[in-house]
Amino acid sequence: MPANIPFTRRGLLGSAAAAMSGVLLGPQPAASALTVPQTPNVPEARAVPRRYTRAEWAARPPTAAATVLNRAPDHIVVHHTASANAADLSLAHAFTLSRAIQNFHMDSNGWEDAGQQLTISRGGHLMEGRNRSLAAIDAGDLVVGAQTLGHNDHTIGIENEGTYMTEEPTEALWDALVATCAWLCDVHGLDPREAIVGHRDYNTTACPGDALYAQLPRLRNEVAGNLGLRRRVRESPPPKPSGLPGPRHTFDHGPAA
Domain shared by 55 and 11, yes or no: no
Q: Which structural domain, as residue segments, surrounds residue 22?
A: 1-44
The pairing of strands 142-143 and 68-69 is antiparallel
Q: Write down the pLDDT at residue 230.
A: 73
Q: Write down the pLDDT at residue 137.
A: 98
Please give the radius of gyration of the chain, using alpha carbons only, rounded to the nearest integer: 20
Domain shared by 28 and 149, yes or no: no
Angle subtended by helix axes 216-226 and 171-188, to nearest 10: 60
The three-class DSSP label of residue 227 is coil
Q: Write down the pLDDT at residue 238.
A: 67
Domain shared by 40 and 56, yes or no: no
Q: Write down the pLDDT at residue 71.
A: 97
The three-class DSSP label of residue 75 is strand
Alpha carbon of residue 70 to chain centroid? 19
- pLDDT tens digits, 177-213: 999 999 999 999 999 999 999 999 999 999 999 999 9
The pTM (predicted TM-score) of the whole model is: 0.80
Which is nearest to 198 in space by CA: 74, 97, 75? 75
As a whole number of angstroms, the distance between CA 91 and CA 22 comes to: 46
Domain shared by 210 and 93, yes or no: yes
Q: Is residue 244 part of a domain?
A: no
- pLDDT tens digits, 151-186: 999 999 999 999 999 999 999 999 999 999 999 999
Domain count, the chain: 2
The three-class DSSP label of residue 201 is helix
Domain shared by 6 and 67, yes or no: no
Domain shared by 153 and 129, yes or no: yes
As a whole number of angstroms, the distance between CA 80 and CA 164 comes to: 7
Instruction: Please report, for the domain that includes residue 120, its CATH number.
Output: 3.40.80.10
pLDDT below 50 — which residues of the chain?
1-45, 233
